[in-house]
């Protein structure tokens, strides 16, 4: 049978890893796919750059358009990142009747609805397993393995950089800035780390997971994003004392009124498996009505780990090249005409528990005033810790854990507490999830 020809856009870390995996495991891949797979052409910005892969048998070009316009190429592998040039090239490849495999979470999260519509119109496939959680096959699990379930919620550590920073703050007693500098030195964080530490990267990935889990259109612009830059060593220590760990989670939940879609620092019980996922590793916890809770763990980045997912997508595409388009697995798991119009809930309607930290003047009645305000807003308290004042200070740190309440109520309560003369500065709020229902 005629080999399937690939064209690769981008020969960086993931592109080089993909070439290596395809070469190293060529025999096994052919056995699984049923056809030989070969890289015919690849585009890279700098052809003279030293690479992690052997490109001696690949036609190299600096023009990515030459790849997507090459009539001999069957599948285009987009690994250049971003959502501008990448979008143009992917749409052009689809117009040319080529299947596409991509590791580009921003492209899918922001432009996926348009791209999938174009692919369906042209009768071709866009595969994107590597766009979320590196080598963890979470998209395949949600789209196929759990297709008999109604997904109730999912929660994931889906950004390795943020997880590395929070792990170091806990295990080494370092502050945020120190751990960020280490992450940059080790190559885990970019010179401009905002996408990682402010939650944008995780929001891209969560948007994709939620669309597949709940059968809704991709809606990145409605995903709440909060980073980890304001997490302090005190917060990490106090959380540990209370039996919790702080993780930067992406959380999506199905509610009667709509879908919660949010990325933020979260306290989770230290006994939960996902609370013990450390350093740059990723994990996604999924709750289905039939299967219960399932956890998917592994490397969220890296040349071979991400290439593993890219090559798996290539094999899937090759397997179904001759299948009628209407009989293929839908891009977002549900048939395109059956997507739900459930709205994304505003953050004010989200319901969760809370960790609150404040500095109060050390005198009688202060705690009573604070608890009264919470009670007035229908918020009950699970635990209170009052720490000792620092030498020479009249202020004491007060830490509270609350039971579940609506975010809008908590916003009002925090505003009222901050207006008290006895409360100094702002109230620190970190959301808390038990992940058991």
Q: How far apart are CA 213 and CA 222, in angstroms?
A: 16
Residues 304, 309: Cα–Cα separation, whole Å: 9
Q: Quick one: 276 and 156 in the same domain?
A: yes
Q: What pTM was computed for the model?
A: 0.95
Cα four-point dihedral sign 316, 112, 327, 321: negative
pLDDT at 328: 84
| 20, part of any domain | yes
Residue 62: CB atoms within 10 Å? 10
Residues 246, 321, single domain; the answer is no
Residue 354 sits in the same domain as residue 268: no
E strand or H helix at 187, and its extent? none
Which two three-digit tokens encode residue 154?
């999912």
Q: Is the dihedral of CA 241, 355, 157, 183 positive or negative?
A: negative
Domain shared by 154 and 202, yes or no: yes
> Which CATH number belongs to the domain containing residue 369 in this structure?
3.30.70.260
Residue 112's pLDDT is 97
Say yes or no: 151 and 282 in one domain: yes
Tally Cβ neighbours within 10 Å of residue 145: 16
What's the pLDDT score for residue 11? Answer: 96
Domain co-membership, 147 together with 68: no
| Token digits of residue 68 | 């997507």
Is 113 found in the same domain as 47? yes
At residue 239, the pLDDT reads 97
Kindly state whether residues 23 and 101 are assigned to the same domain. yes
Catalytic position from the list 98, 105, 118, 205: 205
Confirm whether 437 is domain-assigned.
no
- Total structural domains within the chain: 3
In a domain, 357, yes or no: yes
Same domain flag for 185 and 294: yes
CATH of the domain at 30: 3.40.50.720
Q: Is residue 343 part of a domain?
A: no
Show the low-confidence residues of the chain (pLDDT under 50): none
CA distances, 373 to each of 367, 377, 399 (Å): 10, 7, 15
Residue 205 is among the residues annotated as catalytic for this protein: yes
CB 284 within 8 A of CB 133: yes
Residue-number span of the structural domain to which 106 is assigned: 4-135+303-338
Q: Domain check: are 128 and 142 in the same one? A: no
The Cα angle at residue 83 between residues 306 and 205, in degrees rounded to 5? 50
């Amino acid at each position: 049978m005629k080999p399937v020809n690939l064209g690769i856009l981008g020969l960086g870390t993931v592109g080089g890893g993909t070439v290596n995996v395809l070469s190293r495991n060529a025999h096994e891949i052919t056995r699984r796919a049923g056809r030989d797979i070969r890289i015919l052409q690849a585009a890279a910005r700098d052809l003279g750059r030293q690479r992690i892969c052997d490109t001696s048998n690949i036609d190299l070009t600096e023009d990515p358009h030459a790849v997507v316009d090459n009539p001999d190429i069957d599948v285009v592998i987009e690994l250049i990142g971003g959502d501008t040039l990448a979008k143009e090239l992917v749409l052009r490849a689809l117009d040319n009747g080529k299947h596409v495999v991509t590791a580009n979470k921003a492209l899918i999260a922001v432009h996926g609805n348009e791209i999938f519509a174009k692919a369906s119109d042209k009768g071709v496939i866009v595969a994107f397993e590597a766009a979320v959680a590196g080598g963890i096959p979470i998209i395949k699990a949600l789209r196929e393995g759990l297709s008999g379930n109604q997904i109730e919620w999912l929660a994931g550590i889906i950004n390795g950089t943020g997880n590395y920073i929070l792990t170091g703050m806990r295990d080494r007693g370092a502050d945020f800035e120190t751990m960020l500098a280490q992450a940059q030195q080790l190559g885990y964080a970019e010179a401009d780390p905002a996408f990682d530490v402010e939650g944008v990267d995780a929001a891209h990935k969560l948007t994709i997971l939620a669309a597949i889990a709940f059968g809704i259109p991709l809606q990145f612009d409605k995903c709440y994003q909060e980073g980890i830059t304001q997490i302090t060593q005190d917060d990490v220590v106090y959380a540990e004392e209370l039996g919790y760990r702080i993780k930067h989670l992406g959380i999506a939940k199905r509610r009667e009124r709509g879908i919660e879609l949010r990325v933020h620092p979260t306290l989770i019980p230290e006994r939960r498996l996902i609370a013990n996922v450390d350093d740059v590793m990723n994990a996604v916890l999924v709750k289905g009505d039939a299967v219960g809770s399932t956890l998917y763990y592994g490397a969220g980045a890296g040349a071979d780990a991400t290439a593993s997912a890219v090559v798996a997508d290539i094999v899937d595409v090759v397997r179904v090249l001759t299948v009628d388009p209407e009989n293929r697995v839908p891009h977002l798991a549900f048939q395109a005409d059956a997507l739900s119009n459930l709205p994304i809930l505003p953050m004010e309607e989200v319901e969760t528990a809370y960790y609150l930290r404040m500095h109060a003047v050390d005198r009688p009645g202060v705690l009573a005033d604070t608890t009264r305000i919470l009670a007035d807003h229908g918020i009950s308290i699970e635990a209170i810790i009052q720490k000792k004042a620092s030498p020479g200070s009249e202020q004491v740190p007060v830490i509270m854990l609350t039971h579940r309440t609506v975010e809008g109520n908590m916003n009002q309560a925090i505003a009222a507490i901050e207006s008290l003369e006895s409360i100094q500065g702002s109230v620190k709020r970190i959301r808390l999830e038990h992940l058991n229902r």
